[in-house]
Amino acid sequence: MNDFRPSVPFAARYARNGMVCSIDHLASNAGVSVLRQGGTAADAAIATSAVLAVTSQHMCGVGGDLWALVHVPGEPRPFALNASGHSGSGADVDSLRRDGFREMPFHKDPRSVTVPGCVDGWLALHQRFGRLPLDQIFADAIDLAIQGFPISAECAQATKLLKDIDNTDDYFVNGPPRPGELIRRSSLGETLESIIHGGREAFYEGEFGDEFIAFGAGEYTSQDLQKIQANWVEPLAVEAFGQRIWSLPPNSQGYLCLSSAWIADQLEIPADPSDPLFWHLLAESSLQAGFDRPDALHQDADGDWLLDPKRLHPRASAISPLRASSLPTGVNDGDTIYLNAVDVDRMGVSLIQSNASGWGALAFLPTPRISLHNRGIGFSANPDSPAAYGPGKRPPHTLAPTLVENLDGTLRALVGTMGGDSQPQVVLQLLARLFIAGEDPGQALAASRWRFAGATSNGFNTWADPTEVVLEIEGQHPSLITDLERLGHTVNSLPANNSAFGHAHIISIEANVLSGAAEPRVTVSGTAGY
């Protein structure tokens, strides 16, 4: 079996002092610029995220949510930030059902748009761990928004979805944009400037807030926007692969990254990633961890119980090296950015920020031209579900950044990806390649991936039809597919470089040297260090 490798050589990059990885080299360079000015990893992460909100609005932006893990040397555990927004006061599942919905509306409906948490997340991260003023941190993002940024091939392609969508003409000044064409988003730059001078009030209670309330048509009130959408929470952890692995608690699906790693750690996984058992046992670990996610994940779920060995031992015991299990599972795409940053003091930030699906709700506010996410699709339209749509609630979230520490508490690695429900599965594969196979970040990211997928997926309706779920393999690997089918898996292959398998980045630290790599499946991704 030949693992997927990009058509050009791809390898990890190394740095002594600091490093940033993201899907856009402009954003990574902005983050390292902040590090060079004396900023912390948190400052760099905010700077990187702000640039991505300008250049990659097809995946993220100030109209979306944010989560982060922060490693601070000497602290007993990372700091965990949940900046996922709440539904509005007008949320009513009975009204939704009277309108004929049995699933959450996907596009152009305010009921799937929770109050965006990104700006509150930036400000919370900056208040606690920032060192530089916001005008320095936002400088590159504002310049790119006002003076223009060369649009990436991925974003240019994504603008095809904006046909007939109001308030998107910034992208079409000269017709459909070509890769490299300068795009100006001056209103977004002005929004960032307003946050510098007026804080959260200038955003949530200013022009954005007024137009957001108008868009909601009764879904939101001014009081909803006055409520801070970000709070610090207790992270979750397991020990696996000789490391301590951390992620976010519910309403994040971070527990799946951790439970699948714990389950995999109970198995005899070959160190050779070309061995079919390496693929089979990791896939089975994800299956056993995730098959009941629709029932298990909601904002009030007990993260400690989800990771309790009493709950996970039977799942590990159910895995056989000789056959696939029959439990239902599935994963879906998502449109999200993941980034990571490490500074000279070895503070590390693992951050994820998202629109949910593509351009989110396919709704842009008229004046700031901000696209609104559709994270509300994580709610259930079933009034009996613990995740039922209702007022002032956070929906189940696919976002799950990961942070790895050595058992002595020092920072070992930052790992994460976009990919909707497939995120924990991709993270598990990367962890296994790093800590079982001994690969470096470049090797781990370049290798072919797998995911579980359902034929009827709309992006987030996980396990919608368990009878149609298959194991999808990236690239052409006939012998591997044959071996997996003999074990009982139903297998399909997808073309290499498919975004369905995530956009992942890794920063690893060994002997106090940083090694990192940004996703090779994205043409403009970048690892920057100094």
pLDDT in tens, 417-459: 998 888 999 999 999 999 999 999 999 999 999 998 876 665 4
pLDDT 10s digits, 239-249: 999 999 999 99
Question: What is the three-class DSSP state of 13?
Answer: strand
393 and 379 Cβ atoms separated by less than 8 Å:
yes
Distances (CA, A) of 83 to 117, 120, 249, 289: 5, 7, 12, 25
Count of the separate structural domains present in the chain: 1
Q: Which of 141, 142, 152, 138 is nearest to 182 (CA)?
A: 152
Structure letter (DSSP) for residue 183: E
Name, in order, each residue with C-beta under 8 angstroms of 268's C-beta and a sequence gap of 6 or more.
Answer: 281, 321
436 within some domain: yes
Let me know if residue 318 belongs to a domain.
Answer: yes
For residue 84, give the nearest of 518, 423, 506, 379 by alpha carbon.
379
Bridge-based pairing of strands 491-494 and 469-474 is parallel
Please, what is the Cα angle at 501 between 410 and 326, to 5 degrees?
95
Q: Ramachandran region of residue 435, left (φ > 0), alpha (ψ -120 to 50) or beta?
A: alpha
65-76 average pLDDT score: 98
Q: Is 451 contained in some domain?
A: yes
Structural domain includes residue 13:
no
Q: Under a CB-based contact definition with an 8 Å cutoff, are residues 401 and 351 in contact?
A: yes
CA 1 to chain CA mean position, Å: 30
> What is the model's pLDDT at position 406?
98
Q: Which domain range does residue 485 map to?
A: 233-334+398-522
Residue 114 is classified by DSSP as: P
Q: Is 232 exposed, middle or buried (0-12, 13-18, 19+ CB in 10 A)?
A: middle
Q: Give the pLDDT of residue 460.
A: 55
Quick check: is 485 in a domain? Answer: yes
Q: What is the CATH number of the domain that holds 325?
A: 1.10.246.130
Count Cβ atoms below 10 Å from residue 210 Cβ, excluding itself.
14
Question: Which among 113, 68, 91 is positioned nearest to 362, based on CA atoms?
Answer: 113
Q: What is the pLDDT of residues 171-188, one digit of tens each?
A: 999 999 999 999 999 999
Q: What pLDDT, in 10s, does the model give residues 92-132? A: 999 999 999 999 999 999 999 999 999 999 999 999 999 99
d(CA 20, CA 40): 12
Q: How far apart are CA 329 and CA 307, in angstroms?
A: 19
Q: Residues 476-507: pLDDT tens digits?
A: 899 999 999 999 999 999 888 777 888 999 99
What 3 state SS string does 193-249 have? HHHHHHHHHHHHCCHHHHHHHHHHCCCCCHHHHHCCCCEEECCEEEEECCEEEEECC
Predicted confidence (pLDDT) at residue 135 exceeds the cutoff of 50: yes
Residue 435 lies in a domain: yes
- State the pTM of this model: 0.95
Q: Is residue 69 part of a domain?
A: no
Distance CA 333, CA 452 (A): 11
Residue 4 has pLDDT above 70, yes or no: no
State the amino acid at position 179 in one-letter form: P
> Which secondary-structure segment (H or E) carries 429?
helix 423-435
Is residue 63 domain-resident? no
Give Cβ neighbours of residue 374 (< 8 Å, ≥ 6 apart).
106, 107, 112, 113, 355, 356, 357, 360, 361
